Amino acid sequence: MREFLLGLRLLFKAGRGNRIRFLLMAAGGSVGVCCLALVLTVPSILDAHDGRAAAREPRTSSAGASAAPLVLQRSDPYGAQPFTRVFVARGTDNGRPTPQAPPGMRELPRPGEVFVSPRVRDLLREQPGIKGRLPGRVAGTIGAAGLAHPDELFAYVGTTPDRIGDEGRVLEGFGYDYAPFPAVEPSTVTNLRFALGTLVLLPLVIFLSVCARLSAAGRARRLASLRLLGLSAKGTRRVNAAETVTAALIGALLGLGEYWLLNQVMSRTGLPSLRWYPQDGALTLTTTAVCLIGCPALAWLTGRAGGRDAAATPLAVRRTAVPKPPSKWGGLLLVTGLGIVSGYCATDLAGRPASNLGLNAPLVLAGVVLTGVGLVMTLPLISYSVARRVARSTKSLTLGLAMRRNEVEPGSTMRVVTGLVTLVFAASLAQGVLIQLEQVTRPSGPTQDYALPLSGISERQRHEVADVPGVRAAAMTMESWVDLESDSEAMVSQATALVATCDQLERLVRRSEGCVDGKVLRLTDPNSSQDPGVVPGATFPYRMEGPGTATGRQLDITLPSETIVFSAHNPSAVGSAALLVPPSMLRDGARPESARLVLTSGSDPDAVRSVLDGIGAVVPTVEIDPIGINIQGLRQISVIETLLALGMIMGLAIGAAAFVVSVTDRAVERRPQVTAVTLLGARARTMRTVQCVQVVVPLGIGLALALVLGKLAESCYLITAGGDVQWDLAGVPVLGAAAAGVVAVAALATLPLVGRRINPELIRRD
Amino acid sequence: MRGARLTVDRGEVAVITGQSGSGKSSLLYCLAGVLPAERGQVRFEGRPLGDLDDEEISALRRERFGFVFQYGELLPELTVEENTALPLRLAGMRKKPALTAAGEVLERLGLGGLRERRPSQVSGGQCQRVAVARALVHRPAVVFADEPTGSLDSANADAVLKEFLELARSQGTAVVLVTHDPAVAAQADTHYTMSDGRLSAEGAQ
């Protein structure tokens, strides 16, 4: 405690420069704590979303009186968001109590009434096309308690039981313990928390370490003096830690205040795909405790570590001993990690990509982590070696001066750039994760198929749906009938028939050969497996219903040997079709019992949204299956993307703060030498160039390595994940441009650090 | 500072003494063109420094002036040889001839064996000798020295001062030296004292 108080006394009595540094540490720490609080609050925000979504989930049963209230829930994509519509028919059973209204509503909607979320209300103004999905008049807005988040696309549509149809379920009430589709899967939240924590905490540790070493030379001399005067080694480290701990504590308090303000602002403005109510982002006791205890504790450790040299070898500090070259051990980590990562990349180049089964998954993770940590730990060594070689060989005075500086202080140089280098490495990896998630939730082909159960669609609606703008082709698929009650143990094959003309087929698939209109033809896609029972000569029954046919009438079709070879898009609504049936074979008005209407459009998100709006306007209660689109997955990806981007921005903010503080501190420490060289006649621009080069060269090397190694690590992950994309070269220009931008901004940031005016007082010490 | 009037000829050693805070360093940097004179003129080879722009003043400091500071102010990242060669490099000389010239001056000052060492690897007296070598390596017309021996013990101070002035005189370089140590004045051709911002000549030695 005595040493701690001594440290505080030294802090406040050590002049203006020291106080400014203290304020800088507190301010930077507050930014870090604010970001940390946001990261820790993200799960609470997602929990609050899920809690409200669970509370409004309809509780249903299948059995009930015919006059019971019914409910039917539909969730279709609107861009990357689900647009959920709950159709409610209040029922006519007067003796039966009406179920309680869902949260955010006073009562259940009456037929013809539509209650919408604020976002849907805005959309109705901006894009009247979606009105078709909401039959009725807008009678009110759903309150916050009934919405997962302020931007949710949600509506209650009051209707009648006959309009709901057979798919309706009896409504018992609202509220479940768990949300049917969490905002982000719990396992993903854990990974996300880890990723965000790394993205924020790593730069924060670097920042605190930078702060702990600010004015390193002067501080070390002061500590060494105390040590020589009789302070114990432990006490000397405590004196140094006192300052960082106090700054961190004040920073933590400020940071929590900043977070409160940030929550108020961001809950109103929102982030792309992620909005919340202010109370969702309120600070919890745990978050407050972690920030108020964790941050000073971290500062205590870095502060103690900062005073280690002065405590251990005070004489060397007083005489400014020759710095040792950086340790080579970090290189081992890099070589090991890179070996693993390159090995997995090589499997793909050799045409036998490894999977993520067995030992591969932990090995890939270990390879990626070792590469990242190894990169950070090897950067000082690389910087030192490059600087040494360049300084010896260059004939340029500017480059020579800059490189000599980096040669003697590779550690401090790398502290300046580590945060930014780590960020670029992490950005590469995050991009890989997003590509992988994107691959499993959204088709990457040029077309988008949709499937609708034909049972809920009238003949007129069928034609209207086919005419929706953006729909390129419409056809029908029907399933052959299988008697599930049969006692026969033999496997019965089922054949999907595509009822379409050659022109429709052409539009629905990537390519086809051998089509002849008016004939039943066998369909074969060499890229997909086929039921072994679906062979030429086999006959399949298709049950029909509708006017002009008695229910139960059967259309038997024998598979011919004449074949159309086609290649379907991936994924496709017609990929499993085994035979092509000309529409003329179905009598007017005859409808297969088990059939789907299939449509295709362009895959551009706007086109998909417009087609879904159009279909919804014609058949609002029919379930639309957008083939290959996992709408809940897409929603989750949007949230994950937003959170990762947020983490990157926060990491960048802390990394940039560490960079600015560190570069400024170095420049301030170097002022006497710079003044001396300027007095010797060096031009201001020469000194600016030296300042700039000594930052830009290691930063450039670090970023280039981070980009290359990050891409290798990303490819290693993508290869073992087994998706279509293994080498994400598309992301290279973006990351390259971002890295070049960082270098350019860093270069510009160093320029004002060398002034034009010479102040001889800087080199006088009497 | 007011009423200061002094002339320094080629090869002359002018010493300005005075107590700390008397304004002698301000006068030194004013003479070197670093601090502007509010009134009056500083002339170098007949040309008023006030008429020169920043680029010309920098060129003058680079090519015609030399500086020795109280603590040497060598760049810790450069070797002794590179520090010494710095004025030549700043003046545009190529690396190799600059290092050769620096080596010769270092030899004359008995520092030839320290060429490859860093400032942190040599003693305070040796550092100050290197600073002297750096100030004289480009054979300047004037060397401005601000307490050049202020950080050294008396034995080292005497030795460094002796070598410095010998080398300067042998090159025909004028020296303007400020110090609070009256003993240094004994080495001067001309001795001035500074008191409360006023300069008075004590006469030639």
Residues 53-82 of B with CB under 8 A from A: 54-55, 58-63, 65-67, 69-71, 73, 75-78, 82
Hey, which residues does A173 pair with through a beta bridge?
A: A59
Residue A649 within any structural domain of the chain? no
pLDDT at A261: 94
**Cβ-based contacts of A320 with chain B (< 8 Å):** 76, 120
> Sorting pLDDT into bands at 50, 70 and 90, what band is A295?
confident
Summarised one tens digit per residue, pLDDT across range A548-604 is: 454 557 888 999 999 999 988 878 888 889 999 998 888 766 788 889 999 999 887
Could you give the number of structural domains in chain A? Answer: 4
Structural domain boundaries, residue A149: 58-174
**Cβ-based contacts of A686 with chain B (< 8 Å):** 90
Residue A120 within any structural domain of the chain? yes
Residue of A nearest to B69 (CA): A763
Residue of A nearest to B89 (CA): A397
Q: In this structure, are A26 and A83 located in the same domain?
A: no
* ipTM value: 0.80
Q: Which of A322, A408, A681 sits opposite B87 (nearest CB)?
A: A681
Q: In this structure, are A357 and A401 located in the same domain?
A: yes
Q: How far apart are CA A673 and CA B92, in angstroms?
A: 20
Domain boundaries, chain B: 13-174+187-204
Q: What are the structure tokens assigned to A457, written together? A: 């669609």
Highest mean pLDDT among A171-175, A183-187, A610-614, B139-143 belongs to: B139-143
Is B5:B167 a contact under the CB 8 Å cutoff? no
Summarised one tens digit per residue, pLDDT across range A503-525 is: 999 999 989 998 999 899 999 98
Highest mean pLDDT among A52-61, A202-211, A690-699 belongs to: A52-61
Choose the final residue of a domain: A290, A319, A348.
A319
* Average pLDDT, rounded, for chain B: 87
Please give the DSSP secondary-structure letter assigned to residue A180: S
Closest CA–CA distance from residue A325 to any residue of chain B (Å): 13
pLDDT at B184: 83
Is A199:A648 a contact under the CB 8 Å cutoff? yes
pLDDT at B55: 81
What number of C-beta contacts closer than 8 Å exist between A and B?
88
Q: What is the total residue count of chain A?
A: 766
Neighbours of B5 (CB within 10 A): 9
Choose the final residue of a domain: A148, A174, A200.
A174
Average pLDDT over residues A57-75: 81
Hey, which residues does A58 pair with through a beta bridge?
A: A174
Q: In this structure, are A44 and A144 located in the same domain?
A: no
Q: Which of A320, A397, A672 sits opposite B89 (nearest CB)?
A: A397
Q: In this structure, are A33 and A109 located in the same domain?
A: no
Q: How far apart are CA A596 and CA A589, in angstroms?
A: 15
Q: In this structure, are A125 and A198 located in the same domain?
A: no
Q: In this structure, are A577 and A723 located in the same domain?
A: no
Neighbours of A96 (CB within 10 A): 13
Q: How far apart are CA A541 and CA A552, in angstroms?
A: 11
Q: In this structure, are A263 and A294 located in the same domain?
A: yes
Residue A538 within any structural domain of the chain? yes
Is A58:A86 a contact under the CB 8 Å cutoff? yes
Percent of chain A with pLDDT over 90: 18
No. of H helices and E strands in chain A?
A: 22, 19
Q: Hey, of B29, B52, B55, B73, which one would you mutate to test binding to chain A, going by the most A CBs within 10 A of its CB?
A: B73
Rounded (10°) angle between helices A397-408 and A410-441: 90
Residue of B nearest to A404 (CA): B77
Q: Is the pLDDT of residue A293 over 60?
A: yes
Is B65:B141 a contact under the CB 8 Å cutoff? yes
Residue of A nearest to B34 (CA): A758
Block residue for tokens 């993903």: A188
Percent of chain B with pLDDT over 90: 28
Q: In this structure, are A504 and A547 located in the same domain?
A: yes
**Cβ-based contacts of B61 with chain A (< 8 Å):** 679-681
Q: In this structure, are A297 and A188 located in the same domain?
A: yes
Choose the final residue of a domain: A629, A662, A696.
A629
Residue A676 within any structural domain of the chain? no
**Cβ-based contacts of A401 with chain B (< 8 Å):** 75, 77-78
Q: In this structure, are A90 and A225 located in the same domain?
A: no
> Sorting pLDDT into bands at 50, 70 and 90, what band is B103?
very high
Residue A276 within any structural domain of the chain? yes
pLDDT at B88: 92
Closest CA–CA distance from residue A715 to any residue of chain B (Å): 41
Q: In this structure, are A90 and A145 located in the same domain?
A: yes
A315 touches chain B (CB under 8 A): no
> Sorting pLDDT into bands at 50, 70 and 90, what band is A316?
low
Residue A154 within any structural domain of the chain? yes
Q: Which of A408, A676, A756 sits opposite B69 (nearest CB)?
A: A676
Summarised one tens digit per residue, pLDDT across range A424-482 is: 777 777 777 777 666 666 666 788 899 998 887 888 888 999 999 999 999 999 998 88
Q: Does residue A571 have a cis peptide bond before it, meaning omega lies within 30 degrees of 0?
A: yes
Q: Do A681 and B73 touch (CB under 8 A)?
A: no
Percent of chain A with pLDDT over 70: 85
Percent of chain B with pLDDT over 70: 99
Q: Which residues contact A457 (CB under 8 A, 6 or more apart)?
A: A465, A597, A619, A622
User: Phi and psi (nearest 5°) for A647?
Assistant: -60, -45
Residue of B nearest to A758 (CA): B34
Q: How far apart are CA A34 and CA A266, in angstroms?
A: 13
Q: Domain B13-174+187-204: give its CATH superfamily.
A: P-loop containing nucleotide triphosphate hydrolases (3.40.50.300)
